Amino acid sequence: MAAHCIIVESPSKAKTIKKYLGDDYHILATVGHIRDLPKKELGIDTKHNFEPKYVALSGKSEVILNLKKAVKGSEKVYIATDPDREGEAIAWHLAHLLGMNIADVNRVSFHEITKHAVQEALTHPVGINVELVNAQQARRVLDRLVGFELSPLLWKKIKPSLSAGRVQSVAVRLIVDREEEIEAFAVESAFKVTAQFLAEEGNAAETVNAELSKRFKKEDDVRSFLESCIGARFRVDDVDKKQAKKQAPAPFTTSTLQQEAGRKLHFSVTQTMMLAQKLYEAGHITYMRTDSLNLSNLALAMIKTQVSGMFGEEYAHPRKFKTKTKGAQEAHEAIRPTDMSRQEEGENKNLRSLYRLIWKRTMASQMAAADVERTTVRIVNDKNDERLEAKGEVVTFPGFLKVYQSDDETENMLPALKPGDPLRLCEMDATEKYTQPPARYSEPMLVKKMEELGIGRPSTYAPTISTIQNRGYVVKEDRPGEDRDYRQFTLKDGTIVREIKTEKANAVKSKLFPTDIGRVVNRFLINFFDDIVNYNFTARIEEDFDKIAEGQMEWHAMIREFYDPFHARIEEALDKKNETFKGERLLGSDPVTGKNVYVKIGRFGPMVQLGESKTEEKPKFASLLNGQRLDSLTLNEALDLLSFPKVIGEYQGESMVVSFGKFGPYVKHGGKFYSLPKSGDPAALTAEQAIELIETGRDKQRNKTIHDFGKEKIRVLNGRYGPYIAAGGKNFKIPKGTDPQSLTPEQCREIMEKSKKTKAKSKK
């Protein structure tokens, strides 16, 4: 048995640390959290100072047993969980589970997993920071209280299986509020005038692109202006040149890394954090959950050496950035590579891309500002008083742009012009432009907004955004937009031409949209628990957690101050037994039956209802289709949905019935079901299209089955990943080199038996 034992959270982290230490160290992983509140009960004694009832997590018994054996046989035990509140709490839980005295625990942490950092940490172990543990306990207890008390209320008032969370519900509110802003936005249009000139310079002519700062609202005003420019003589009125600097960006924090990885690499927030975790555990980058902009002196020296060596001394500009984030957590450094001389790290393309982004940003943060020359040329004519402007920007010294180019960094060079120089008009366009509503949130944009408002902390952004999507309150999707006409006038060679053109409007990619369930839950929470989903309240709670971490506030008292009024309002809402909140809206009445038609949230989601719920006759229901919404559904659309199931014809002596199921619209024929494609409209489906759908489905089924040994109850099928054997509700892989067409029942049983034995050995 090794003399010393080190306990970390992940096997990857353990593997990296093992490389730096000798055989005297035995390194074990908890494989994530090891103890938490119980899943199926509150687990908090609200009458006795909110004492939490912690239990070992399911499936961790073997891990705990191995840890206890290792600890018992070691001279010294180090707990090396992550350097943040959550890591501190895991260390505290470990100490309790392993029967260790909290005061005697050797707690080590490192912001980078390098040989020097690991050895240095082991040389100077510290105790568990109980204030940090208490801050994490307060967060966990408060979130459990909110979730466990609000969720049953949602089940009774809206629909079963819903849940609410303190930070998640606020994130949903942000998205709903933005969507309502967009829906209320009044689109206006105006004409933007641009012009292309030629500047005579010696024997050559250079193009100058200019724009009129004024916008015209009316078509008559546009035409009048263009007519006044016919035959006009244009000249340069004045030239304004200014020297400016573009400052280097700060190194990455959790939030800015998520934003840039989303913008430049198109990674989701969760994907970014998973990749960053792998890079950290492999020892390639520093800890990736941080608010800090600080870089250590060792890192600054390393970066300066790298910059000077690659680009020259004039490009090096060491600087320290001040962390401005309110309530910034205790992580010591920004996210940076552990070895700046290594420009690439990672075992796959995505890891390498993220590492390269971090390397570039870290380099840029310690490089000189870029020098640019900005030129504005103002152009006038002899026929009217309007002035056009041409703008250009030239980088005279690239500085940090050598390594970190922004998407909008473009050089627009203008020819050497001086006041009085004549310009020849080539073409002038007046194009109708529409005002744009506020942009929907992408995942990185939502992270930025949450950080601005002080909602959540680095460790919470990714799980929050994943949770609201997994719960069905928000969807991330592309929407194609719609065609929109716009007017354009063109003045060329003394003639004005008017055209109607078409553009694609309101198309979006990978943006967050609230679902009907999300809207209704949000509306309910605002009506009854406005403080819980209030931005300022949520930010204040985060500040309280920070105070607990700093030892300035007692966590039980903070929870009590929140819980007592919150619980009273829960009780009050539960007392209103017959009051439900289903987003119900009366659309009108059915012209055939005269019954009322409603749209609302039902047990299985948004639906339409024909008839009243409180009558002896059972109402008729139909689910909404993809793209249909509670707030905008019309009576005619609802009646179309209620017309299903409906027979659209016969084929081979059997009726073809169109209806809806759990997985969307389908055609039923001969006892079998054939799903419509996602883009298919069940209301517009013809008999011919249904027959085609049936035959396509049959072809797929025929192609799927290679053998069907009926009595043997064994089938050989074509699957997504190749042929396989299906029997007894289980699937078995066919060995490479075996021809599935030639298989017999006996050979199938032999393959199945071998597969079972192999799996049994692996499990053992």
- Active site positions, annotated: 287
Cβ atoms of 572 and 162 within 8 Å: the answer is: no
Strands 482-492 and 474-479: unpaired
Q: Give dist(CA 121, CA 78) in Å, integer.
A: 10
Cβ atoms of 524 and 160 within 8 Å: the answer is: no
Q: Give dist(CA 566, CA 141) in Å, integer.
A: 14
Virtual torsion, Cα 114, 118, 123, 127, nearest 10 deg: 140
Cβ atoms of 454 and 327 within 8 Å: the answer is: yes
Report the Cα–Cα distance between both ends of the chain, in Å, rounded. Answer: 24
Which residue type is seen at 650? E
- The dihedrals phi and psi of 496, each to the nearest 5 degrees, come to -105, 125
Q: Give dist(CA 214, CA 292) in Å, integer.
A: 44
Q: Give dist(CA 415, CA 393) in Å, integer.
A: 12
Pair of tokens at residue 700 = 């797929």
Q: What is the secondary structure of 437-474 as a DSSP string?
A: PPPPPPHHHHHHHHHHHT-S-HHHHHHHHHHHHHTTSE
Pair of tokens at residue 159 = 């629909």
Which residue, 389, 422, 386, 34, is CA-closest to 205?
422
Pair of tokens at residue 588 = 């009108």
**Torsion 580-583-587-592 (CA) sign:** negative
3 state SS of 513: strand
